[in-house]
Amino acid sequence: MKNYLTIVLLSLFAILSSCSETQEDISTEQLVKEIESTEPTEQEDKILFWKDMLNKDKYTSDKVVKAYIYSYIAESFGRSNIDSTEMYATKALVLIEDVEGFEKRKTDIYTGLGLIADNRGQIFLASNYYHKAEAILNANPSISTISAKDKIKIYLHNAQSTIKVGLYERTYDLTKKAESYLDSLPEGNNDLRFRIYSQIFVSGLQKRINSDSLRYYLNKIAQSAQSSESKQFYYIYKGHFFSQQEELDSAKIYYQTGLEMNQDDLKKELKNQVMIPANRYLFYCFFLENSIKRGKKNEADSIISILSEMKQNTSINLSYSNHITFSKSMMSYYYRFKDFDKYYELAEKVLEMTEEKQKKAELQAKEEMQTMYQLEENKRSIKKLNQSVESTENQLQKTKYFLAITILVILIILAILAILYYRQKSRKLQQEYEKVILEQKLLRTQMEPHFIFNTLSTLQSLIRFQEPKKAINYLNRFSRLLRSNLELSRQEMISLEDEIETIDNYLNLQQARFEDYFTYQIKVPNELEIDALFIPPMLIQPFVENSILHGFDGEKEWHIDIKITELTATKQLQIEIIDNGVGIHTTPKKKHKSLSGEIAKERLEILSKKYKIPTDYQIFSEQGKGTTVCLKLPIIDGFQQN
């Protein structure tokens, strides 16, 4: 019963554990590390790989981990599908934006969305995203989860966006912050160093910082300029420097040197009508401005001719600012060479272009502000929806716990009732068994006086006729039988070996008493371990006694066979008591047999219930030919008995 109770309690504990098992067993940080260390193989499609991760409750039940997966899907789309990239990046941002920590992933998402907005020409929206990434760095400049290189890129992106919106002084400050992380970079990274020094120099010119600082950054630009393109920029920047210092001849040398570096490329581009970089157009505008200031009309005319030819190239993509820059240079040209009519005419056009540019900028700003507002509204709506879903999930979890506890209580009650029922049933079964044992003992006490009297009479006869050996042997058998009856009758189960010995003593005594008018044989297979098998005591003797007292009439040689066999297929022990007597034919004998048989039958039924193995009791009798009693009972070994 204790085993059953233990099993029930363990089962209930398992049910409760399975109901209460939540994702909180594994921390968000552990799951994030697990996701970061998980990568698709070269053969796997990255997008499908990460989308498959969204089907795993282990990851999607944690919103931070889910945000990481969304951001990896966005990165997998990259530039191949900008709309999908933006959609998944926004989903990731909604989930992670208000969660403390995870700054590296947040800055990556902000920067990615800023690049998408830049790609679409949404300069204000891009600036908004870059600014949010920058705010994370400003809040914790020494944050270790973001590398120095990534910090530099965040400040550079933000600085470049401020140029587009006209905040030049802020550009200088942001680029200086980027410069502060250069010492943390390993050797090399010349392209990144070149970008930082170039941007500090250009924004420093706008801010009009002192010339020594400008010279310092020019030297840094020269040291980091590795490619021919970067070296060309270096010469143009040096031309800017001398132009600001009013050293126009020196400026002219550097402008000209820089432009001559791509003369051959320009000729090919003009001839083949292929893409001309917009920077190249601006460089000639700078050179034109220098020529005008120096009063070199022919030189200026030559440059204007090149610029006009470049404008006619359909592959060049010039912005409003590029056109205005050229127009302002032409205004300087007309004013310097005293063509005032064209100067005023062009001034009006420049004013119109400037106003148009301003209107477009304002319209774009309004549209992007509306877009940003809409994005924030969408994010708020999604956050509210997520909170609602989370609240519903929490409520469902509470309901789940309540149901689990309710089921647990019901199961405990059922278990207690089952245990009480089992205990009551066991008690009733035990009472029945004790009743049967008592009846068996009572029956034996009724039979024993007659048997003892007859045995003593036989012993007296042997002594009277002076047969001491037989008398001693008979007395020895009788004493052993009495001792075994006294000892074994108190036990619930005895070994088959003890039962066989008792029956052997009993039959031997009866054989001597009836002067060997019957024979007997007890057949037990050699492989049967009779000392390790147990049966109820005095189960066989009543049937043997019936055979002797009621089955024989003294007219022929009689015989009793007791066969014991093991039925391995059914895990049963079969005991057969076979005699060649007169059979069952008179009512008194039948009644006497029936009493011992009914008690044996009840004992066998109790055994069957206790050990969950079927038992059987059958009598086969034919008048004049004998009777066979067949008992089948469970095989009970020493371990079961204990």
Can you tell me the distance from the alpha carbon of 271 to that of 309, in angstroms, rounded to the nearest whole number? 10
533-535, strands of its sheet edge to edge: 494-495, 533-535, 636-637
- In the prediction, which pLDDT does 214 show? 92
Q: Are 32 and 72 in contact (CB under 8 A)?
A: no
Q: Are 66 and 95 in contact (CB under 8 A)?
A: yes
Burial of 318: CB neighbours in 10 Å, binned 0-12, 13-18, 19+:
middle
Q: Is the pTM of this model over 0.85?
A: no
| Average of per-residue pLDDT across 390-405 | 71
Backbone angles phi, psi at 441, to 5 degrees: -65, -40
Pick from 621, 622, 619, 618: nearest CA to 633: 618
- Tens of pLDDT along 547-566? 887 777 666 678 899 999 98
DSSP 185: S
Q: Is the pLDDT of residue 36 over 80?
A: yes
Q: Is the pLDDT of residue 418 over 60?
A: yes
Q: Rounded mean pLDDT of the chain? A: 81
State the DSSP H helix or E strand holding residue 437, giving kind and residue range, or none if neither.
helix 340-464
Q: Is the pLDDT of residue 310 over 90?
A: no
Question: Which 3 state secondary structure label does DSSP give 359?
Answer: helix
| Average of per-residue pLDDT across 465-489 | 74
Which range scores top for mean pLDDT: 31-45, 280-294, 362-376, 530-544? 280-294
| Average of per-residue pLDDT across 61-80 | 88
Q: Is the pLDDT of residue 16 over 70?
A: no
Q: Which of 33-42, 468-477, 533-542 has the lowest mean pLDDT?
A: 468-477
- Tens of pLDDT along 334-344? 999 999 899 99
- In the prediction, which pLDDT does 591 show? 43
- Tens of pLDDT along 501-517? 888 888 888 877 777 77
Structure tokens at 522: 């007890």
Structure tokens at 584: 């069952």
- In the prediction, which pLDDT does 5 show? 52
Res. 294 pLDDT band, cuts 50 70 90:
very high
Pick from 584, 587, 589: nearest CA to 629: 584
- Tens of pLDDT along 184-200? 888 878 899 999 999 99
Res. 215 pLDDT band, cuts 50 70 90:
very high
- In the prediction, which pLDDT does 239 show? 92
- In the prediction, which pLDDT does 379 show? 65
- Classify strands 518-523 and 636-637 as parallel, antiparallel or unpaired: unpaired
Q: Is the pLDDT of residue 445 over 60?
A: no
Q: Which residue has the higher pLDDT, 159 or 568?
A: 159
Can you tell me the distance from the alpha carbon of 363 to that of 286, in angstroms, rounded to the nearest whole number? 30
- In the prediction, which pLDDT does 473 show? 78
Q: Are 49 and 40 in contact (CB under 8 A)?
A: yes
Q: Is the pLDDT of residue 624 over 60?
A: yes
CA 432 from centroid of its chain's CA atoms: 55
Q: Is the pLDDT of residue 12 over 90?
A: no
- In the prediction, which pLDDT does 386 show? 62
Q: Are 593 and 600 in contact (CB under 8 A)?
A: no
Pick from 17, 20, 16: nearest CA to 412: 16
Percentage of the chain beyond pLDDT 90 is: 19
Q: Is the pLDDT of residue 453 over 80?
A: no
Task: Output Rg (C-alpha) for the chain, integer angstroms.
Answer: 55
